[in-house]
Structure 1
Amino acid sequence: MEVQPSQPAEVNNVYYQNTYQTLSYGSSYGIPYTYAAYGSSETKSQKADNTVPFKTPSNEMTPVTIDLVKKQLKDRLDSMKEMHKANRQQYEKHQQSQEDSTKAIERLEGSSGGIGERYKFLQEMRGYVQDLLECFSEKVPLINELESAMHQLYKQRASRLVQRRQDDIKDESSEFSSHSNKALMAPNLDSFGRDRVIYQEQVKRRTAEREARREHIKQIIKLLASIRALDHALTVANDHNFKNDLED
């Protein structure tokens, strides 16, 4: 189906005063035209310079047919189908990637339960050790001072024990001397002029105190031994539990 343009009129006559031109209507589109008017020749030349040329419009048009429209629609549909297919493939690819990521997250979350508990335990142990070291750093000067005072007390105690032991030996020596020299001494006075009865009572009292101190020392030694054994057992048990926790 073609649309044919209408043909223009063949001849038109254009008339101006004292001037007329006979031109074809179709050919007038491709040439410049002027308007003649009364006046000098200079005015006519200026108007001739300001003329506007016109081109003959093309009367030929592309024929529009049903087959052409169908072909364009078919090409457009094929292009959209290809685009839809590419988008569909991209969508399926993203869906598969999302499923793989979800499975990986679930697998990692399931396998990180024991690791999380172990990490938490180690972090708590780290904090405990840091606090302990800070405490020791603050307490070391005080500990050194207390140790010096304790050593001084030990020295004083050792001096008292030595003096007391010397007194005990002196008492025992005096007792043995009194028994061996009983016949040579006065009935009621010793060689220093002291009452023998009172002196013997003092010696017996010091002897009883000495025996009581020895018994008390033995009990203290037994108690310290039991405390050390219990402390050692607790230390071994704690070390064993700590190793088991680290292995788990």
Structure 2
Amino acid sequence: MERNIIVTGAAGNLGKAVVEKFKREGYRVIATILPDSGDEVEEADDVYELDVTDEKAVAAFASEYHLQYGEVDAIGLLVGGYGKGGIEQTGLEDLEKMFKLNFYSAYNMVKNFLPVMKKADFGNFLFMGARPALQPEDGKGVVAYALSKSLVDELAKYVAEEAKNSKIRAHVFVPSIIDTPENREAMPDSEFSNWVSPSEIAEAMHFAINSPGLRNTTFKMYGGI
């Protein structure tokens, strides 16, 4: 039986690592990229242009997915963004931007695919959390980002409660700093070996999905930091 995983934000550094990992493990990978971005995800079986922050677009995609593929084993909710600023520097526009990228992108997918998982009585939501959302001392300088990620963490808890009598699971992956070219350029004096690689997160996601004993787990992947 074919195992299906949807990976949103599949063209990013983490997205590509997740796509490659699950493709190697025999999954059928359905990737989403931002419309008109020109991005490519060569390892994926199918690629859809989809703005996951658009409620109507996600609803249409979910309907098409159900017709084309049926069940879904897992959804990697990788779309997101980052922004700096403390409370005094953060306006509603900044909050809206972070909420849209980090929370709405996840919420739209959960809202539309939870019914698919309920029908199958199986599935995994793979949420991307953030340490600043769990530790105020890390979040005080990135308030909008931290608040948006705290909503993601809360959403995972609501999914867990909604599906507590089923085989649906909601895992949250919380890296410190992901080792990407962009982060290295932004923080050139850092000790990169202490960071978490995209491949390590991909491995953790695969492990979570294929470990029935794990249910609604938060993976704190802080590396050496």
Kindly indicate whether structure 1 or structure 2 has the higher relative contact order, using CA contacts under 8 Å at least 6 residues apart: 2
Larger Rg: 1
TM-score range, shorter chain: under 0.3
Q: TM-score, normalised by structure 1?
A: 0.14
Higher strand proportion (structure 1 or 2): 2
Q: TM-score under structure 2 normalisation?
A: 0.15
User: Is the helix fraction higher in 1 or 2?
Assistant: 1
